[in-house]
Amino acid sequence: MKTEAKQRIPSVSVDNRLEVFSHPAMQKASKGILYVILAIVAVFQIFPIVWLFLFSLKNNQEVFNMSPFSIPTDPKWENYAKVWTEGNISQYFLNSVVYTVAAVILTVILASMVTFAITRMKWKLSNLALGLFMVGLMIPVHSTLIPLFSTFTAINLVDNPLSVILSYTAFNLPITIMILLGFYQALPREVEEAAVMDGASLNRIFFRITLPMTSPVIATAAIINMIYNWNEFVFVNTFISSDQYKTLTVGIQNFIGQYTTDWGAIGATLMISILPILLAFLILSNRIVEGIASGSVKG
């Protein structure tokens, strides 16, 4: 009797279960759920930016008396004009651009040279050199402030833009080398070997052949460096004292007084400071994904 009961129970195979999930209705439902989840995540990501924008259009009375999520009845657009002219934000913005661009260019070029030397040139201490650069990833920024300040004081670089640019470059080199390393190791050597046979010099091989081939991952490294440099606060606050050399992240302190604080102006400054990064990321986000994907697949 037991054997007959077992024979009557229909067996459900794994293929039949997979067919249920591959049904068009199930696929549409799963996509719909995925889109809902992504929409919720997007709302949580965009909400702080919307809140900050509304915050920047309020005065101190509206900031404290109205709901944080309320739309101002009389938007204070003059907050943006005030911070750009009276608050010297235009100078801070220019300084941020100069420091960021200079440090990114210097970091990418040096990291590319180091990675090329480690992966393409045969020398005994290449692994040791790579290990020393990777140690830089484990050094906290704050532990180096006093030694760096003493060094910059000795060579007369305190309150000099070079102190900030060199600090950005030094601390971004390890992560940039790590990003480039996998891509360089996967590059085909046949093109470089053919160039050597044609009599090309080492500099020509690097600048004319290898560097153009690594443009996707270089774009990724440059964007990551740009985001870090633009938002950096500690180095500028430590090494720069003159108002003419400060960046946006430090200059925002001008609106914080001993007794009163202009919160609307602070919100406007924050909006101005995040817009370049948002625009750069929206425009170049595909390059970031392309560089990371190509480096991970090829590496």
pLDDT for 109: 94
Q: 24-56 vs 14-21: helix axis angle to the nearest 10?
A: 50
pLDDT at 126: 83
* Phi then psi dihedrals of residue 151, to 5 deg: -65, -45
Model pLDDT, residue 67: 79
In angstroms, the CA 153 to CA 174 distance is: 25
Residue 3, pLDDT score: 52
Can you give the pLDDT of all 299 residues of the chain as single tens digits? Answer: 445 554 555 554 545 554 555 667 777 788 889 889 999 998 888 888 888 998 899 888 888 888 777 888 888 888 898 888 887 888 999 999 999 999 999 999 999 999 999 988 878 888 898 898 889 888 888 899 999 999 999 999 999 999 999 999 999 999 999 989 888 888 888 887 888 888 888 888 888 888 888 888 888 899 889 989 999 999 999 999 998 999 998 988 877 765 567 888 888 888 998 888 888 878 777 766 666 665 554 44
Q: Note whether 236 and 31 are within 8 A (CB).
A: no
Cα Dmax for the chain: 97
Cα separation, 96 vs 273, in Å, equals: 9
Q: Return the sign of the alpha-carbon dihedral for residues 128, 129, 131, 135.
A: positive
pLDDT at position 299:
43
Residues 6+ apart with CB under 8 A from 132: none
Domains of the chain, each with CATH number or no CATH: 87-298 (1.10.3720.10)
pLDDT recorded at residue 22: 62
